[in-house]
């Protein structure tokens, strides 16, 4: 396993796309060199104060040669707002890579069912699978066309990207799970990763329990440290007592092993 580092790093570029999502490219060579799909970093763009804790973000892509990695951040509250206003050249503190890297790639076909900032979580996996010439089908969902996230990247690494919007402004007018079900019926996928929607998570877990796919969830949780110190990021185990820690046991979990909140 790659052991994480804590470093002062430099913001080498920032871009907003779509509105409300900023893409940050950060220079930190060791993280760029050792990160794998599914891993995340803890980022702090402020000194002690309010906010005080670092924030977790998935590594969208890492370029070991250039020594940079990319995040895609949805502007939500205090921390993400501050991060979104950082200017090129600013310093930030990053700890990573954190969490378990995905290491099994032996599926016949993989579906990525994502929505909102959840799209950021699976880009690295899509890239890895595409390098391994494994078929990747992405179902990218949003409320409306202008809220589709990481679309170009996912198109680059997927065999096919299916768009689903709630209002029908682009692609399928309806629920992304319908497209997933269709892909399964067509026998194209035996493995599904999902991120960004509780509804998706419940659906994938049901498919997993029914034996139709191997289902995986990218989970979140309020994180204090990202490295097992605080025990804050608990998620309930399914079928046994106790909790997993998202930062140490995840952030990617087999869907049947965890309780999905309603």
Ligand X SMILES: Cc1cc2nc3c(=O)[nH]c(=O)nc-3n(C[C@H](O)[C@H](O)[C@H](O)COP(=O)(O)OP(=O)(O)OC[C@H]3O[C@@H](n4cnc5c(N)ncnc54)[C@H](O)[C@@H]3O)c2cc1C
- List interacting residues with its own copies (CB under 8 A): 46-50, 52
- Terminal Cα distance for the chain, rounded: 33
Work out which of 11, 40, 45, 113 binds ligand X, going by CB under 6 A: 40
Does the protein bind ligand FES through residue 245 (CB under 6 A)? yes
Does the protein bind ligand FES through residue 196 (CB under 6 A)? no
Work out which of 230, 238, 254, 256 binds other proteins, going by CB under 8 A: 230
230 binds, among ligand X, its own copies, other proteins, none (CB under 5 to 8 A by kind): other proteins
Task: Give the residue from 74, 139, 136 showing the smallest Cα distance to 102.
Answer: 136
Q: From the CB of 55, what's the least distance to ligand FES, in Å?
A: 11
Does the protein bind ligand FES through residue 66 (CB under 6 A)? no
Rounded distance between C-alpha atoms, residue 151 and residue 250, angstroms: 25
Query: Which is nearer to its own copies, 78 or 198 (by Cβ)?
Result: 78
CA 34 distance to own-chain centroid: 17
Does the protein bind ligand X through residue 76 (CB under 6 A)? yes
Note whether 91 and 10 are within 8 A (CB). yes
DSSP 217: E
Does the protein bind ligand X through residue 117 (CB under 6 A)? yes
Distances (CA, A) of 84 to 21, 22, 51, 79: 8, 6, 14, 9
Chain positions contacting ligand FES, by CB under 6 A: 223-226, 228-233, 245-247
């Amino acid at each position: 396993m790659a052991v994480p580092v804590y470093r002062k790093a430099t913001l080498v570029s920032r871009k907003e796309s779509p509105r409300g999502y900023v893409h940050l490219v950060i220079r930190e060579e060791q993280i760029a060199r050792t990160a794998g799909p599914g891993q995340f970093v803890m980022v702090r763009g402020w000194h002690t104060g309010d906010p005080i804790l670092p924030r977790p973000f998935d590594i969208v892509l890492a370029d070991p040669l250039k020594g940079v990695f990319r995040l895609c951040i949805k502007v939500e509250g205090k921390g993400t707002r501050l991060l979104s206003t950082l200017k090129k050249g600013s310093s930030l503190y990053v700890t990573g890579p954190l969490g378990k890297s995905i290491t099994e790639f032996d599926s016949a076909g993989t579906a990525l069912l994502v929505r909102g900032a959840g799209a950021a979580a699976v880009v690295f996996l899509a890239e890895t699978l595409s390098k391994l010439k494994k078929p990747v089908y992405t179902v990218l969902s949003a409320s409306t066309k202008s809220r589709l996230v990481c679309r170009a990247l996912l198109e680059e690494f997927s065999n096919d990207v299916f768009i689903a919007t709630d209002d029908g402004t682009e692609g399928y007018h309806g629920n992304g799970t319908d497209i997933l079900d269709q892909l399964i019926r067509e026998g194209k996928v035996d493995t599904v990763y999902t991120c960004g929607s509780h509804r998706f998570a419940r659906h994938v877990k049901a498919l997993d329990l029914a034996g139709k796919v191997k289902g995986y969830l990218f989970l979140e949780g309020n994180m204090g440290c990202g490295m097992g110190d605080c025990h804050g990021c608990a998620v309930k185990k399914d079928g046994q007592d106790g909790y997993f820690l998202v930062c140490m046991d995840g952030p990617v979990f087999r869907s049947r092993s965890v309780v999905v909140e309603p």
